[in-house]
Amino acid sequence: MSIRFDPAAKTLTLLTRSTCYQMQISEFGYLLHLYYGQRAVENFRYLCQTADVGFSPNPYESKLDRRWSLDTLPQEYSSTNTADFRLSSLNLCAANGAWGADLRYVRHAVTPGAYAVTGMPCAFDKGGESETLAVVLRDASAGVEVELLYGVFPEQDVITRAARIRNTADKPLRLFKAASACLDLPFGRWELLHFHGRHAMERILERTPVATEIQTVSSRRGASSHQQNPFVILCREGANEDSGDCVAVMPVYSGSHRTDVERDQMGSVRVVTGIHDEQFSWQLNPGESFDTPQVLLSFSACGLTPLSQTLHRFLRGNICRSRWTNRRRPVLLNNWEATYFDFTADKLLRIAREARNLGVELFVLDDGWFGRRSDDNRALGDWFVNEDKLPGGLETLIAGIKELGLRFGLWVEPEMVSEDSDLYRAHPDWALTVPGRDPAMSRNQLVLDLARPEVVDWLYDTLSGLLRRCDISYIKWDMNRHLTDVYSHALPPERQGEAPHRYVLGLYSLLERLTAAFPEVLFEGCAGGGGRFDAGMLAYFPQIWCSDDTDPIERLSIQKGTSYGYPVSAVGSHVSASPNHQTGRGTPLGTRAVVAMAGSFGYELDPTRLSEEERREIPGQIQRFSRYYDLIHGGDYYRLEPDCGPESEAWSFVSPEKDEALLCLVVKHPEANPAPLHLRLKGLDPAARYRITQTFFGAAVPAALQADDSGDALPVLSGAALLYGGYTLPRLFGDYPSALIHLEKI
C-alpha cells in the first residue's frame, strides 16, 4: 500500500519508491503537514513543535495554550481570515459576506487508480500503478467543503495534488482564490529555481535564495507565457546536479498561473501554487463544485539531475497521451523562414522536392495559406484556402507533396481572429473585448472567446472538416498573442471573473475532441515559440515548438533551461539558415544540427538556396539523427559541466540499459592557447567497457577530425575511467565548433 493511515497517531503517509510524504490530523481537526523527503517509515509528529510566538493567534479551542497557532504550524491547505497571516490557498466570501474558511478534517478515503479533475488534463494511470487519497475538510459556517486530492505514483516517485471545492450551503458563495496545493517546508535554507524569459528567449534558469519575503513566479497573460514558466524547483543551499535535496512543483495548467514562495518569521518556507487570483472569481452555487488544476510534486535527495529525469519519465509516461509520444516522428521541413508569406504552389513544390532529395520526410506549410492572408494583419479566422496562391486548394498541393513521397503538415492559429476577417465581421461578439473600450491590439488580432461553447463548437467543426477533407499528417497549433480586454459577452457581469479560466477549459475541450477524433495526426504546440510550454499542453501535444529563436547558440540556454522540467522528446528544434535571421550570427551547419538533435529534429530554411557542400552534409545529419533517435528521445538526459577549457555547453544521453551513450558539446567561446577541454561523463556502467567514436564539426576543426560517416574511433575505455577520470577532447577552434561522441558498450 502506498497510502497508509495510522489511526492512533492520526497520520496519513504517502510512500513512493524513494520518498515519503506525511500529514497529521491535529487534536483540533486541522490537517498539518509533517514531512516530505527521503523515504522513511516513521511518525514525524516529533518535527512539529509548538511555541508561544507573539502576535500569532490561537484557535478558540486552544485559547489557554498560546503555543498552538496556525500562523506557525505547517499546513496542507491554508485559508484567509483564520489566524494564519502567511500565504493562503483559499479565499472565499460566503453569502453573508464573511471571508475565509476555517477548514477542519471530516473524513478521508483511499481508492485505487488516479483521480481526474473536471475539464482539465491530469496524470493518468496505465494499469493499477497508482492510488488516490481524498481528504475532506469542512467549514460548516461558511457552507464549504474542500476535498484535497493526492495521487501517489510509487514507482515514478511522483505525488500529484489538486483541490475540489464544494458549496454545501443553500446560497451562492464566491471564490476569489483557489490554489491547487500548499506545501510547507519547515526547516532548512532553500533556494528557488525558476525559468524566466521573453519571446524568443524562454525558460532561462535563475537561482535565488529564498529570503524572508514573498517571491512570486506568475503569468497574468492568459497563458503560461514566455516570461515565467509554471514550474519551479526548491533546493537546499549548495545542491547541485548530483547532490542535495530538491523539490519540483509543476502545475498541469496552461493559463494564468501563480506560485508564491514565502519564508516566514520562524524560517519555515511555504509554497502555494495554482490559478492566478488576479481577475479571478468564481460563483459557486449550492451543490456545485470547482476543481483546481493538478500539480505534480517530486522530491530528490540526490540533486537536480535525478529530479529532472523523474519528471521527464513521468511526463512522457503519465501526462502525454498522444500516440506519437513514443512513436518515431518524421524529420520535417517548415517553409516559414524560407518564404514567410511570399509563396506560390510551384515555389512550395520546388522547396519540397529539394527537401525530399536531402532526406526530409514531412513538409509543413506555415502561415499565409488561407483567406486574404498576405501579411499578419488580416484573415485569421477565415480558414478557407487562398486559391490565388494555391490554385485547386490544399488538396492539389497535398497531392503534389505526396507524389514526392512526403507527408504534409499545416500551420493554424485557431484561437485568434483578425478584425479584418469575415469571421469577425459576422461575429464581433465572439472576440474578447470590453464594451465601450477600444481593445489593445497585438499583430492586429484579437482573441476568440473560448469560454463560449458555440465558439469551441465552430472551431471543432471547422478544423475537423479540414482534417477530414485533406490528408494532413501534422498540425502546428500556434497562439501569437496573449489575453487582454478579457470580457466574455456571453457571461453576466457578476461572472466576468470566470472568463480567463473558462477560456482555458474551452481550449482543453477543443483539444480533447480534436486529438481524440484524429489520433494519427501529430499535433505540435506553439505560442510564438515557447509561450505555452507546460504540462497541460503536453497532454495533447507530444512536442512544442521550443522557441522562435533558432540561433543554435541562444538555443543552448533555452533548451538547457527547458531540460530541468521537460523531456527532450517534447522539444521542437530545427536547423535554420545562417546567418540567423533573428541574431545575425553565423554558425557551422554541423553545430546547428548538434543543437537541433536535442529535440524533435527538423529544418527551417530554403533548401533551394543551399550550397553544394551543405547539400552533401544534410543527408548525413538526418541519417545520424535517425541512428540515435531512440537514444535521444528515450534515454536519460544529463547536463554536463566541463571541468576546464573554453566556455562550452555539454549534455549527454544514456540508454536505460547503459549500453550506449551520446555526448554532445558546443564551444561557445573559443580561446587562443586554450586549456584542454575536459569533462566527466555521467550515467555509465563503471564495470562496462565502451568503444568511443568522435565526430567534430566547424570550419576550423583540423581536417583529421572533420565529420564523416565512420567518425574517428578511439581506444576502448572503461565506464569507470570515463566517470571518474573523465574525457579530454582535442582543441577545437573557429566559430562555434561542436562534437558528437558516441559510446557503445562492447
Average pLDDT over residues 594-600: 97
Whole-number average pLDDT of the chain? 96
Q: Which three cell numbers stand for residue 511?
A: 483539444
The H-assigned helical ranges of 3-92 are none
- Domain-located, residue 302: yes
Flag whether pLDDT at 92 surpasses 70: yes
Question: What percentage of the chain has pLDDT greater than the value 70?
Answer: 98
* Least confident residue range of 53-67, 98-112, 479-493, 649-663: 53-67
Q: Is the peptide bond before 676 cis (omega within 30 degrees of 0)?
A: no
pLDDT of 1: 84
Considering the domain architecture, whether residues 357 and 222 belong to the same structural domain is answered as: no
**Which CATH number covers residue 624?**
3.20.20.70
Whether residue 408 lies inside any domain: the answer is: yes
Question: What per-residue confidence (pLDDT) applies to 699?
Answer: 56
- Residues in a beta bridge with 725: none
One domain, residues 405 and 539: yes
* Last residue of one domain, picked from the residues 319, 349, 366: 319
pTM of the model: 0.96
pLDDT tens-digit readout, 362-415: 999 999 999 999 999 999 999 999 999 999 999 999 999 999 999 999 999 999
- Residue 519 within any structural domain of the chain: yes
Q: What is the band of 645 on the pLDDT scale with cuts at 50, 70, 90?
A: confident
Residue of 277, 367, 534, 617 with catalytic role: 534
Q: What is the CATH number of the domain that holds 722?
A: 2.60.40.1180
Same domain, 278 and 375: no
Q: Residue 710: its pLDDT value, please?
A: 47
**pLDDT confidence band for 715 (50 / 70 / 90):** confident
Query: What's the one-letter identity of residue 66?
Result: R
Q: What is the mean pLDDT of residues 415-438?
A: 98
Residue 127 pLDDT level (bands cut at 50, 70, 90): confident
pLDDT of 63: 85
pLDDT score for 731: 87
Domain finish residue from 291, 319, 347: 319
Q: Are residues 607 and 654 in the same domain?
A: no
Rg (the chain; Cα; Å): 27
CB 562 within 8 A of CB 515: no
Where a domain ends, among 580, 612, 634? Answer: 634
| Domain assignment of residue 643, yes or no | yes
325 in any annotated domain = no
Full DSSP string of 401-457: HHHTT-EEEEEE-TTEEESSSHHHHH-GGGB---TTSPPP-BTTEEEB-TTSHHHHH
614 as an active site residue: the answer is yes
pLDDT at 64 over 90: no
Cα separation, 629 vs 622, whole angstroms: 10
Q: Could you tell me if 606 and 620 lie in one domain?
A: yes
* Overall number of domains in the chain: 3
The pLDDT value given to residue 704: 53
Residue 324 lies in a domain: no
Residues 449 and 553 in one domain: yes
DSSP code per residue over 162-215: EEEEEE-SSS-EEEEEEEEEEEEE-SS-EEEEEEEEETTEEEEEEEEE--SSEE
709 is catalytic: no
The reply to whether 248 falls in a domain is yes
Q: Which of 24-38, 43-57, 547-561, 680-694 has the lowest mean pLDDT?
A: 43-57
Distance CA 641, CA 643 (A): 6
Query: Tens of pLDDT along 670-709?
Result: 888 889 999 999 999 999 999 999 999 985 655 555 544 4
Domain ranges, residue 679: 638-745
pLDDT digits (tens, 9 = 90+) for 530-564: 999 999 999 999 999 999 999 999 999 999 999 99
656 and 685 in a single domain? The answer is: yes
276 with 337, same domain: the answer is: no
Distance CA 647, CA 643 (A): 10
Predicted pLDDT of residue 419: 96
Measured between alpha carbons, how far is 149 from 164 in angstroms, rounded to an integer?
A: 8
Say whether both 184 and 198 belong to one domain.
yes
Question: Is 484 within a domain?
Answer: yes
List the CATH number of the domain containing 59.
2.70.98.60
Q: In this structure, are 654 and 628 located in the same domain?
A: no
Question: Looking at the structure, do residues 270 and 376 belong to the same domain, yes or no?
Answer: no
Catalytic residue among 614, 630, 659, 735: 614
**Do residues 608 and 684 share a domain?**
no
